[in-house]
Amino acid sequence: MKLELGNIFIRDIRFDSVSKVEKGILFVNADELRDHLLEDENIKSVSLEIARPGESIRILPVKDVIEPRVKVQGSGGIFPGILSKVSTVGSGRTHVLKGAAVVTTGKIVGFQEGIIDMSGPGADYTPFSKLNNLVVVCEPVDGLKQYAHEKAVRLAGLKAAAYLGKLAKDVEPDEVKVYETPSLKEGIEKYPDLPRVAYVQMLQTQGLLHDTYVYGLDMKHSLPTMLYPTELMDGAVVSGNCVSACDKNTTYHHLNNPVVHDLFAKHGTELNFVGVIITNENVYLADKERSSDWSAKLAEFFGVDGVIISQEGFGNPDTDLIMNCKKIEAKGIKTVIITDEYAGRDGASQSLADADASADAVVTAGNANMLVSLPPMEKVIGHPEVANVIAGGFEGSLQQDGTIVVELQAITGATNELGFNKLSAR
């Protein structure tokens, strides 16, 4: 499967009477977009804000981050099964507003949303401080239950990203990058001497606002399966999570998965990138056994020599991670796992809730329990008081002068387990 990504570099966002992309600037008609989002009867109010790199702005609680994209050629549309019909994506051409993002916030959905600081020390811990962000502040109608609230905010973010993406449909990209994965047979014939590598991506699917959607289907209702890597790049996987912000995979992470990009960079020269196995993270032991059995079975069926396994979340999912690792290693397939650590504020505690001798090749994305102090910002978008209740915060996290003292756990993307950050450890 072959996908062309046409990147259009965005260096600024501005409100204007006409929505358009012109000379690297994204112009947004706020009234038009707001009316579009307010078509959802579960949303009481929508306001739009702009947060640029380096500005003294704090956004919290952050629900999701989405990169605007639009299908230009090929089957399907962006976010299939949710905003578009259920057609296979990952081929043709997609235009990307690179350097721009939609960030959703508003009244807290679950206690595990996060913080994005656009400047100061907090900005160093989140990749989203480097983007020109259109912040969509959604407030739900009174009495709306959490699940309907989460869905309304999730859809608002996706709709806003699709609205912005469509503005780029007829814009000439600044660069076009091509990604192609051959079929299994073609790959063996084309790269007979290269090691065959697959990527096992664990998706957060524990329920209770811990959900990920694949072609619109809640992945906890599915068995592990395979995707072409380009399907991830084309919006097949969407975040519905309200989990710890530091290692949550936002929709932006799925669209720009660095494991996929790095494997593509070596594809055809150092290795044969066979494809992606997506699996879920379950609550009950029997479900964990079933899914890890299937992940190992698929890796064996594809005849791979090695896999990279990435986790999402911590604690209970550590068991899924180690099960996947053990069972794939038992098939004679080498594994590397990517995780983060919850090792206590002093870093002295056990990093994972589970372990095994076969997990001897580990990449860590940092210690989520590390305590940081975030100085006050001139502007706060959202609700600053939730700093006292979000995961990584505590009573007294928000101080009188606007300073917030929290664990890295509270910063969106700080210890992301795809490696989409700058932290690691030895």
- For the annotated catalytic residues, the residue numbers are 242
Q: Which two tokens stand for residue 107?
A: 């009244």
Distance CA 347, CA 360 (A): 20
* Under 8 Å between Cβ of 110 and 150: yes
Which residues are paired to 114 by β-bridges? 62
- Count other C-beta atoms under 10 Å from residue 39's C-beta: 9
Q: Would you mind telling me the total number of residues written for the chain in this entry? A: 426
Using alpha carbons, select from 358, 351, 353, 352 the residue that is nearest to residue 326: 358
Which residues are paired to 21 by β-bridges? 26
Distance CA 259, CA 261 (A): 5
Distance CA 309, CA 370 (A): 24
Looking at 311-423, which runs of residues are DSSP E strands?
A: 334-341, 362-367, 371-374, 379-382, 404-407
- Sheet with 57-62: list strands edge to edge: 114-117, 57-62, 379-382
Q: Which two tokens stand for residue 426?
A: 């030895």
Greatest Cα pair distance in the chain: 65
Which residues are paired to 178 by β-bridges? 4
Q: Which residue do the tokens 């592990």 mark?
A: 224
